[in-house]
Amino acid sequence: MDAALKAHTCAVVDEYLAVARWCVNTDRGGGAVWGYPAALLLFSATDAIGRGLLRANKGSAARLDVLARPPFNLPLNVAQIALLRRAHRNPLTHNAQLGMGAVLGPDRVGPPFEFQPGGIVYVRLPMFCDVLERGWASCRGTFAPPHG
């Protein structure tokens, strides 16, 4: 493994998580947080971590399935992971929009994701940030980023 690539990629994930933490801890007024930037950074960090922990897969789907595996171990099924991908990948990254059925919230209690009927996913940004920070701290040493 290329040590310089690992060091660089780890530093980028660290930055994503640090700025996402600022976004979810900073009140924009009226109890609102910087939700869209936080969501973009958290989903991007998840994808990067997944690409460094899981075996390569065919296609370019975001590796959000890492959330259902160690060290995160969230009770997510394939359909729920697909809903998270729909919320993140193209709409949020390229159009500055959430995918259909995705809702962001500043709640600091509860699971990071709540799946509701009709394909609705409620994302508790501070809780998502907590899960990623804890998981990243425990897997950073075994992280092996792929080459570009």
Query: What is the mean pLDDT of each successive set of 10 residues along the chain, which is 148 residues long?
Result: 88 97 95 93 94 79 92 96 84 78 93 94 96 97 84
Q: How many CB atoms lie within 10 A of CB 13?
A: 21
pLDDT at 1: 59
* 137 token code pair: 């701290």
Contacts (Cβ under 8 Å, ≥6 apart) of 17: 41, 42, 45, 129, 132, 133, 136
Q: Rounded to 5 degrees, what angle do the CA atoms 127, 68, 91 make?
A: 70
Residue 109's Cβ-side half-sphere holds a number of Cα atoms within 13 Å equal to 0
- With the C-alpha atoms ordered 17, 57, 138, 148, is the resulting torsion angle positive or negative? negative
pLDDT at 60: 66
